Amino acid sequence: MEHLTTTPFGRRPVTADLIDRAAAAQARPSVPHINKWELFRELCAARIAFGVSDRDLTVLNALLSFHQDATLSDNANLIVFPSNAALSERAHGMAESTLRRHLAALVAAGLILRHDSPNGKRYAARDMDGDVTRAFGFDLRPLLVRAREITSCAAEARAAAERLKRLREAVSLKKRDALKLVEYGRETGLAGDWEGFAARLLEIHKRMRRKLAFEVLEELGGKLGQLLLEIRETLSESKEVSGSDVDSGRQYQNSNKDSHDSELCQEEAKGGAVEDPEAEAPPKPEAPHIPLGLVLKACPDILDYTPDKPRHWHELVALAAFVRGMMGISPDAWDEAQRIMGPEVAAVTVAAILQRVSDIRSPGGYLRALTGKAAAGGFSPGPMVMALLTRESADAA
């Protein structure tokens, strides 16, 4: 089939890039033929390397559907000539102005080439046998010419994604180890700057996001590794000191006695307390009116602290109880939130606070404030979750 022109119709000027792309499209293809849909999937994987968006690829998908054969071959007619209306229909109803913008992006990326007719319309002329002798529209030949480049870039993109995935897994495991060891140090009463460790861990978490560059994630992994080393050294030193104290016959009867007396006082206070019958009781906690899956979609950061995605509300409650210490939320604040809000709502609230922890100065104080609102019947976690979903959608766009 004869190619008559490569210059654009109308006011679009000829540029050096246009001339270079037209010359490149006439080069010998890297492969004689290839399945168009396999090549399209490879291009989807390599789209960042070619500077095209998912919406650009939606339009390219529509263009490929107008090529009748399943393969792109060097000896075949690779020019498609759909009308704007037909192209819009196959691009899921995309507006014509939007179509033009994405078509221009595909041309600029060197993935398709324009062949404009004298009047700018897209059509084909056929001979007596019905074969196309000349066509005006979009040439798919650049895809065939760059097939090997596309598949190579796709392989590199998949390898990079796998490396990033493995690095994120390693960082998540280090973060989980650090948090559990800090909690262990706190609970056992071993000597150490556990609050300082928790604060440093929180600062690292604040910098972590779902879409971090490999270099940034690697840097955070190094900081977590250093933090873990310091935590383990502190635990080792504390245990050695504890062992020496036991061997030398030291006892901590006074401390235990004070703790025991304190517990007795609390029990006596509870037993002797007189309830005011006129005091207004807090509203009865209710289960969340939102699905667990929606909560996890809105608050994905909490999933970094568990190997398995929570399937039931009690699993989310246990996970929230685990991560609250890292955020500086005290046991009292957590217990009060569970009592007033109910365990499930309290867990959703903690997950939402974790997701926005970089924007919150005092997570513990914030939880107490929300617990106070819940006690007055003025708090529901639904708006928090929906706001996070809206924020995630805006970031993705």
Over the stretch 340-366, which tens digit does the pLDDT of each residue have? 999 999 999 999 999 888 888 888 899
> What distance in Å separates the CA atoms of residue 198 and residue 192, rounded to the nearest whole number?
11
Same domain? For 56 and 135 the reply is yes
Q: Which has the closest alpha carbon to 313: 335, 337, 336, 289?
A: 289
Same domain? For 106 and 72 the reply is yes
**Do 350 and 362 contact (CB within 8 A), yes or no?**
no
Residue 283 is predicted with a pLDDT of 54
> What distance in Å separates the CA atoms of residue 178 and residue 197, rounded to the nearest whole number?
8
In a domain, 262, yes or no: no
In a domain, 249, yes or no: no
Encode burial over 116-127: b for 16+ CB neighbours within 10 A, e otherwise. Answer: bbeeeebebeee
In a domain, 11, yes or no: no
Same domain? For 182 and 104 the reply is no
Domain final position from 104, 120, 145: 145
Same domain? For 138 and 20 the reply is yes
Strands (E), the chain: 33-35, 71-73, 79-80, 113-115, 123-126, 132-139
- Kindly tell me if the per-residue pLDDT of 15 is higher than 80: no
Copy the structure tokens of residue 173: 């495991």
| Res. 265 pLDDT band, cuts 50 70 90 | very low
Same domain? For 57 and 113 the reply is yes
> What distance in Å separates the CA atoms of residue 324 and residue 343, rounded to the nearest whole number?
13
Domain final position from 243, 261, 278: 243
Range of the domain at 202: 161-243
Same domain? For 24 and 140 the reply is yes
Same domain? For 138 and 44 the reply is yes
Domain final position from 117, 145, 173: 145
Same domain? For 365 and 316 the reply is yes
Q: Which has the closest alpha carbon to 51: 114, 98, 104, 106?
A: 106
> What distance in Å separates the CA atoms of residue 133 and residue 1, rounded to the nearest whole number?
5
Model confidence pLDDT, tens digit, residues 225-244: 999 999 888 888 776 665 55
Residue 263 is predicted with a pLDDT of 37
In a domain, 115, yes or no: yes
Residue 80's φ and ψ, nearest 5 degrees, are -110, 145
**Do 62 and 91 contact (CB within 8 A), yes or no?**
yes
Q: Residue 14: which residues within 8 A CB-CB, separation 6 or more?
A: 7, 8
Partners of 72 in beta bridges: 34
Residue 268 is predicted with a pLDDT of 39
Average pLDDT value for the chain: 79
In a domain, 330, yes or no: yes
Is the sign of the CA dihedral 339, 340, 346, 350 positive or negative?
A: negative
In a domain, 285, yes or no: no
In a domain, 277, yes or no: no
Encode burial over 63-91: b for 16+ CB neighbours within 10 A, e otherwise. Answer: bbbbbeeeebeeebbbbbbbeeeebbebb
Residue 8 is predicted with a pLDDT of 56
Residue 347's φ and ψ, nearest 5 degrees, are -65, -40
Partners of 124 in beta bridges: 135
Q: Which has the closest alpha carbon to 340: 377, 294, 385, 390?
A: 377
Mean pLDDT, residues 33-60: 93
Model confidence pLDDT, tens digit, residues 104-138: 899 889 899 887 665 557 656 666 666 665 677 88
Q: How far is CA 40 from the centre of its chain?
A: 24
Same domain? For 121 and 177 the reply is no
**Do 83 and 96 contact (CB within 8 A), yes or no?**
no
Same domain? For 28 and 125 the reply is yes
User: CATH no. for residue 37?
Assistant: 1.10.10
Same domain? For 140 and 45 the reply is yes
* Range among 129-133, 204-208, 243-247 rated most confident: 204-208
**Do 124 and 134 contact (CB within 8 A), yes or no?**
yes
Q: Tell if the pTM clears 0.85, that is, is over it.
A: no
Q: Residue 241: which residues within 8 A CB-CB, separation 6 or more?
A: 191
Q: Which has the closest alpha carbon to 124: 138, 112, 136, 115?
A: 136
Q: Which has the closest alpha carbon to 201: 303, 305, 299, 300?
A: 305
Q: Which has the closest alpha carbon to 90: 113, 125, 61?
A: 61
- Kindly tell me if the per-residue pLDDT of 260 is higher than 50: no
Residue 58 is predicted with a pLDDT of 93
Partners of 33 in beta bridges: 73
Share of the chain above pLDDT 70, in %: 74
- Kindly tell me if the per-residue pLDDT of 44 is higher than 90: yes
Residue 376 is predicted with a pLDDT of 85
Same domain? For 83 and 131 the reply is yes
**Do 202 and 160 contact (CB within 8 A), yes or no?**
no
Greater confidence, 334 or 274? 334
Q: Say how many domains are in the chain.
A: 3
In a domain, 152, yes or no: no
Residue 151 is predicted with a pLDDT of 94
